[in-house]
A and B are shown apart, each in its own frame.
Chain A
Amino acid sequence: MSTVNEPQDETNAVADQEIVAAVEEAAAENAHELPTGVQAALELKKVGKTFGSVIALRDISLRVDPGTVTCVLGDNGAGKSTLIKILSGVHKPSSGSVTLDGEPVEFSSPRDALGRGIATVFQDLATVPLMSIWRNFFLGNEPVSGPKALGLLSVKNAKDVTKSALKQMGIDLRDTDQPIGTLSGGERQAVAIARAVHFGAKVLILDEPTSALGVRQSGIVLKYILAARDRGVAVVFITHNPHHAFMVGDRFYLLNRGRLLAEFERGKVQLEELIQAMAGGAELESLAHEISSIRA
């Protein structure tokens, strides 16, 4: 707790230490054997993206393994959104290459990426609030009964599958008929994750899934991230919260101003280091100093 908490009073330091210890303990409990020598599910090599004269991303290389959680950390403006859009097929990279299961790929659209097993759960755009849970769950993948041309929904089947698929992910909902907008933010994210996993996503990209949520709600989402990981999905967890990342992450990439600033692996990094690196050690130190001078 050296540099960060030095100017603060002792109780604060103790409280912070408790949080850090708790996060590290949780991270240890969530740890699992990292698969070794496997083919990366998704790999970026020296990917760059420019919009006109603006360089949004430069030389980004990262790999996402099946059954692991890869965290992409960065502050606002670090280039996280651009990176997601490249991964999910919205943007094409200006330079560099993307490989999926070892094959070089170029996604023509988000639909194309989805078809190849890359599902993206966008922060606010994952579900349609007024529609029921089961309708949301099957949106775009509706189960049909009878002649295909008629497009008749097998409603009973859809409701049952929704219920059991959510249950497998540990989400127990009594009534899949209620509008999904009546669920809490965490539950909605959880349904979106369960949906992606159910429909066979190999790579699951989560865009700031915990940013608008409270502590307990975030916990729910983190739990489902691990559930997806344990089912062999390569999870890309994009966040600006190092605590959340540290609890579930296997590999950490730090973005800053469009560049890859650092790369860490689980077990070889402390939460402290992660926070420091993310905030930029010197900046955080001067901020702490400023705050203490205001207090005084």
Chain B
Amino acid sequence: MSFLTNTSNIAVDERVSRTPWYLKTLRRPELGALIGAVAIFLLFTFVDTTGKFATLEGAAGWTDFAAPVGIVAVFVALLMIGGEFDLSSGVMVGTSGLFAGLLITQLGWNVWAAIAATVVMAAVIGFINGILVIRTALPSFIVTLGTFFVLKGANLAITKGLTGTVRVSGVDQGDGFDSARSLFSSTFDVAGTQFQISLVWWLVITIFATLLLTRTVFGNWIFASGGDANAARNAGVPVNRTKITLFVMTSVSASLVGIMFLLRLRGMQAGQGVGQEFYYIIAAAVGGTLLTGGAGSAIGASIGALIMGFAAIGIPYALWDQDWVSTFLGVILFSAVLINITISRRAQGGRKK
């Protein structure tokens, strides 16, 4: 039984080579999205008929589209890494905008107070989502699909009931509108081109979420909760608390985007945001987040959102029919996920998982 008594050579397994730097790079979940983003950028630069796609003006256009998607997609990605879905994240954008709008126009609230109340409301709905998922042990797909439809109906019914139309308008009459608008929906100048302030929010939130995920204890718990909830519990990770917090964060990020739209458009349509949840999930998946949880990145989700911005601006610039945007995104989703999976399998030494 020399394998037991003479074990000095076991630990150093000659079959395992050192990890080369390129493998480490390939293991990064957002790599596929980054390659895709560069390729799609080049594609639209090439087919561009206006000559503006690869300019600052083009950049202002695609980041304007990408920022509101990215802000929520980043948290949807964290939630997905934590092993859950939130299909109500899109409709929450509408619910939040309408809620704040109605407080301002119907009850005459100060805009800042309405914003604070909206964030609290969103946190409560996120908390309810989380509690329902944990307590019922139903798939979050079902629970949040339910929330989605409840909110979608309520948005329409309450808006119609209070305003008689499907739109809340006249928010700019509220106190504090100008100061709130300057923080949430103004523009800033870069070499003569106007960029939306949402771009700054998006960048800050992406950095915050990335640090949260990779450099904090909570981030470790997110990976563990989504990777193997049982193993995480055995190691003493508060899995339930982690997941509920993620639901709250996702919901609050959607409310932030709702507030941005409300202030920018000086009003809100009752149907705003519906369907956006899929954009968030696509952005997260394109960015290398596993749909089964346990792996992914916040930067990746932002790159996914950026790709959507490229498509939304690049397709009309190329004079293609705008109706093809969704089809294009569908193809991107499929190929990006396929590439991500192939790369990570290679990087992990061919182990299929």
Contacts and interface: CB of A to CB of B under 8 A. Distances in A.
Contacts of B290: 130
Provide the main secondary structure of the chain A interface. mixed
B353 A181 contact: yes
Contacts of A25: 1
A120 B217 CA distance: 22
Contacts of B138: none
A222 B223 CA distance: 30
Given A26-B4, A181-B353, A131 B234 contact: no
A264 interface: no
A289 interface: no
B236 A177 contact: no
Interface in A113-170: 114, 120, 122, 125-131, 135, 138-142, 144, 150-153, 155, 170
A150 B219 CA distance: 12
Given A170-B7, A170-B11, A182-B351, A129 B227 contact: yes
Contact of B220 (A122, A142, A170, A181): A142
Given A139-B232, A171-B11, A219 B3 contact: yes
Nearest to A132: B223
Contact of B224 (A139, A151, A178): A139
Given A25-B1, A153-B215, A128 B294 contact: yes
B193 to A, nearest CB: 37
B167 to A, nearest CB: 43
A7 to B, nearest CB: 27
A229 to B, nearest CB: 14
Interface residues of A, number: 47
Contacts of A110: 233-234
Contacts of B18: 174-175
Interface in B12-66: 12, 16, 18-19, 24, 27
Interface in B263-316: 290, 294-295
B220 A153 contact: yes
A216 interface: yes
A30 B6 CA distance: 11
A26 B230 CA distance: 36
Given A129-B228, A219-B10, A220-B10, A152 B4 contact: no
B231 interface: yes
A179 interface: yes
A120 B223 contact: no
Contacts of B331: none
Given A22-B1, A172-B11, A172-B12, A130 B294 contact: yes
A141 B234 CA distance: 12
Contact of A125 (B216, B217, B219, B230): B230
Interface string A219-254: 110110000000000000000000000010000000
B10 A223 contact: yes
A131 B294 contact: yes
A174 B19 CA distance: 8
A170 B10 CA distance: 9
Nearest to B290: A130
B173 interface: no
B247 to A, nearest CB: 19
A130 B7 contact: no
B349 interface: yes
B348 A181 contact: yes
Contacts of A26: 1, 4-5
Contacts of A294: none
A130 B353 contact: yes
Interface in A18-39: 22-23, 25-26, 29-30
A45 interface: no
Interface string A90-125: 000000000000000000001100100000101001
B227 A131 contact: yes
Given A125-B228, A131-B227, A177 B24 contact: yes
B244 interface: no
Contact of A135 (B12, B223, B351): B223
A52 B217 CA distance: 41
A222 B4 CA distance: 8
Contacts of B236: 111, 114, 139-141
Contacts of B227: 128-131
A215 interface: yes
A110 B224 CA distance: 17
Contacts of A111: 236
A126 B234 contact: yes
Given A130-B294, A219-B10, 7 more contacts: A22-B1, A120-B234, A130-B223, A135-B223, A138-B220, A219-B3, A219-B7
| 8 smallest beta-carbon distances between A and B, as pairs | A140-B236, A26-B1, A140-B235, A128-B227, A219-B3, A142-B217, A151-B217, A130-B294
15 contacts: A22-B1, A23-B1, A110-B233, A125-B231, A129-B228, A129-B353, A130-B223, A130-B295, A131-B223, A131-B294, A140-B232, A150-B216, A170-B7, A219-B3, A222-B4
